[in-house]
């Protein structure tokens, strides 16, 4: 969004002292990453996280400050899933509105495409509703209500994926932005010794708001320990400072930065 009117999907995030990014939904890259329970496990999982900076599609949603996040997912054996996720945010207040919470509600289906006996090609399709209670941006000149709905489709092969999200409403408070889209490509690579490397690049297109279009990227690594998963990432964008600077303090919310996250799934 304008001056942070870009909120989000996001992956479990974590916390601390550096400034850097989406199960949605807790998605750093913006892709739905629903935990898939083992056959003997409960189909319901919970997640909690604290992050040094809530980044969604490369843009800080918390004015480069920490956020607390959490959610739950239900995944059926057939691949259908539903979930909810929330985070603290600051972008609506930056734009002259109100509210300090994001709530994401989503549902979809994922599985393996039946191409050959063992294609290894996976899919994930669904819908995601971003809610910003009492955001008030509909009463602020130059904005509309920040609540947003997107549909998405993702294909994966091995560690790599490509995903496209399409807005069926105005996007995160941008006026006349229905039909905006976000293209996301990335991979999660096993680096050994319990370390996973994440690579991501994305392109946000905001219909009828060309100054708000931008590309973002992320290079990160994570490792799970007994009590939590620790993730560190370097996130950057080529977003315009005029479109993504915080009116509250002038900070550029799309600047390159380091992000630290602590998360846990139950």
Q: How far is Cα 219 from Cα 229, in angstroms, rounded to an integer? A: 17
**Cβ 132 vs Cβ 149: under 8 Å:** no
Q: What is the mean pLDDT of the chain?
A: 87
Q: For residue 225, give every residue at least 6 positions away whose Cβ sits within 8 Å of its Cβ, in sequence order, or none.
A: none
Q: What is the dihedral of CA 21, 26, 30, 34, to 10 degrees?
A: 140
78 CB neighbour count, 10 Å cutoff: 8
Structure confidence by residue, pLDDT tens digits, 187-236: 999 999 999 999 999 999 999 999 999 999 999 999 999 999 999 999 99
The whole-number pLDDT of residue 116 equals 63
Q: According to the model, what pLDDT value does residue 70 have?
A: 98
Full set of structural domains in the chain with CATH: 44-265 (2.40.160.40)
The closest alpha carbon to 25, from 10, 12, 37, belongs to: 10
Q: Which two tokens stand for residue 168?
A: 């069926």
Length of the chain in residues, anyone? 266
Give the whole-angstrom CA distance, residue 162 versus residue 168: 20
Residue reference for tokens 């392109």: 203
For 58-106, write each residue's pLDDT tens digit: 999 999 999 999 999 999 999 999 999 999 999 999 888 999 999 999 9
Ranges assigned E (strand) in 89-147: 101-112, 121-131
147 with 124: CB under 8 angstroms?
A: no
Which residues have C-beta within 8 Å of that of residue 117, sequence separation ≥ 6?
Answer: none
The closest of 253, 258, 144, 159 to 207, measured between CA atoms, is: 144
Q: For residue 186, is pLDDT > 70?
A: yes
Our separate counts of H helices and E strands in the chain read 1, 14
**pLDDT tens profile 23-33:** 334 444 333 34
Asked if pLDDT for residue 139 goes beyond 80, the answer is yes
3-state class (DSSP) for residue 212: helix
């Amino acid at each position: 969004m304008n001056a942070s009117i870009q909120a989000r999907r996001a992956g479990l995030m974590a916390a601390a002292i550096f400034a850097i990014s989406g199960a949605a939904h807790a998605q750093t890259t913006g892709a739905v990453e629903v935990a898939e329970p083992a056959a003997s496990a409960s189909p319901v999982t919970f997640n909690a996280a604290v992050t040094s900076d809530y980044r969604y599609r490369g843009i800080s949603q918390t004015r480069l400050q920490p956020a607390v996040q959490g959610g739950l997912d239900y995944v059926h054996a057939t691949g259908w899933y539903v979930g909810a996720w929330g985070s603290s945010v600051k972008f609506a207040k930056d734009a002259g509105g109100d509210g300090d919470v994001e709530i994401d509600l989503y549902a979809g289906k994922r599985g393996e495409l039946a191409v050959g006996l063992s294609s290894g090609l996976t899919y994930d399709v669904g819908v995601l509703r971003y809610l910003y209670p009492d955001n008030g941006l509909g009463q602020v000149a130059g904005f509309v209500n920040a609540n947003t709905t997107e549909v998405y489709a993702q294909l994966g092969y091995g560690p790599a994926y490509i995903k496209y999200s399409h807005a069926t409403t105005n996007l995160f408070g941008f006026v006349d932005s229905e039909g905006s889209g976000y293209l996301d490509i990335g991979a999660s690579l096993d680096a050994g010794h319990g370390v996973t490397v994440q690579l991501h690049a994305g392109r946000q297109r905001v219909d009828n708001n060309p100054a708000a279009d931008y590309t973002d990227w992320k290079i990160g690594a994570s490792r799970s320990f007994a009590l939590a998963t620790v993730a560190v990432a370097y996130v950057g964008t080529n977003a315009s400072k005029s479109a993504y600077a915080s009116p509250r303090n002038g900070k550029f919310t799309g600047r390159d930065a380091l992000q630290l996250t602590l998360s846990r799934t139950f």
